[in-house]
Amino acid sequence: MAGIDIEGLATVYPNGVRAVDGLDLHVADGEFFALLGPSGCGKTTLLRTIAGLETASSGSIRIDAADVTRTEPGKRGVAMVFQDYALFPHMNVSENITYPLKVRRVAPATRASVASRTAGELSLDGLLERKPGQLSGGQQQRVALARAIASEGKVLLLDEPLSNLDARLRLEARTFLKKLQRDLGITTVFVTHDQAEALALADRIAVMQSGKLRQLGSPREVFAWPANTFVANFIGSTPMNLLPGQLTSASADGSDGVGIVTVAGGSLPATTASVPAGAEVTVGIRPEYLTLTPNDAAGPALRGTVVVAENLGTQSLVTVDCDGTLVGVTVPEEEEPAPGAAVTLTAPAGRVLLYDRESGELLS
């Protein structure tokens, strides 16, 4: 079982920057795990601390149940792929892939068979004699992955594995990486600042801010139920609407924990289990979960005027002015309303999230 257990981990650089600031994390055996967050949040430092390339200032790291906090990098059982791949330019593909085995003095015949097997797994057959300079970006990335896999680490650590590829190759490499990870079943932690990439690839995502964990969950959980307004803002290709509001009735029908929250332009239903009536909140609702109609609606709704519509492909993002507050809603492209049209927005209570106005933490 090659899980990773991190407890109370802090990594402080000599200049005093607390890049990782008291983190607890468990990565399960065989899991594809993403570290996600904005530039400077500490995700690369965390990955490098797991690898042993940075020293933990406090806390502990266990890999496969063994405490490796003070173990040198080569003896932790991890294989890391760097953002720039770090291939040896003077070695051919075969030599690059088997370099870690050569260091361990594995016999040449065994190395050759590992090279050809790994090259097969990573679709690099026929390229074993080439030097890195004679490969495309996507092929170089696969050689770096092949080298990591051939080293037979228990854990694979990937630092922004797709960031050096152009948009088309990146999509192709994403699919390849996901399938490879599933086939090999190797515990994998990858760093990305791209929320779409994390949502598409990971079994679970750790969202970081300023060296701290802000949410840990499946792609569906962090998308549909962001634990705070920071995650709500960071996840999603169209940003979540975050609107100042007030809970006017903690229970709309007296029984089921669904109340009414008033925001500019009207009101919406919301699940209100732990929120008292009268509370000033931030109302979070994804553009994807709002429904736009040209007609007035019965019950709680927002009313406003269409400002602009942006084509996103099969969907359009419509910006609606609700009493001076701009609200985004996605609609099928063919239902895009004209600017100036009067519209109504509704949402089911389960999709309307309430956040503490001060702390930004999820209430409902």
Judged by the rule CB under 6 A, the positions of this chain that interact with ligand ATP are 13, 15, 17, 19, 37, 39-45, 193
Based on CB atoms, which residue is closest to ligand ATP, 43 or 286? 43
The Cα 226–Cα 217 span in angstroms is 9
How near is the Cβ of 57 to ligand ATP at its closest, in Å? 12
How near is the Cβ of 38 to ligand ATP at its closest, in Å? 7
- Among candidate residues 112, 100, 103, 191, the one with its CA nearest the CA of residue 152: 100
How near is the Cβ of 212 to ligand ATP at its closest, in Å? 12
- Taking CA atoms, 119 is separated from 80, 95, 139, in Å, by 18, 12, 11
Q: Is the Cβ–Cβ distance between 345 and 276 less than 8 Å?
A: no
Based on CB atoms, which residue is closest to ligand ATP, 37 or 300? 37
- What angle (nearest 5°) sits at the alpha carbon of residue 198, between those of residues 57 and 231? 70
How near is the Cβ of 53 to ligand ATP at its closest, in Å? 10
The Cα 92–Cα 39 span in angstroms is 34
Based on CB atoms, which residue is closest to ligand ATP, 158 or 252? 158
Based on CB atoms, which residue is closest to ligand ATP, 13 or 88? 13
Based on CB atoms, which residue is closest to ligand ATP, 43 or 351? 43
How near is the Cβ of 39 to ligand ATP at its closest, in Å? 3
Long-range contacts of 329-335 (CB under 8 A, 24+ apart): 329/287, 329/290, 329/291, 329/292, 330/238, 330/287, 330/288, 330/290, 331/292, 335/292
Q: Is the Cβ–Cβ distance between 74 and 30 less than 8 Å?
A: no
Q: Is the Cβ–Cβ distance between 96 and 57 less than 8 Å?
A: no
How near is the Cβ of 110 to ligand ATP at its closest, in Å? 36
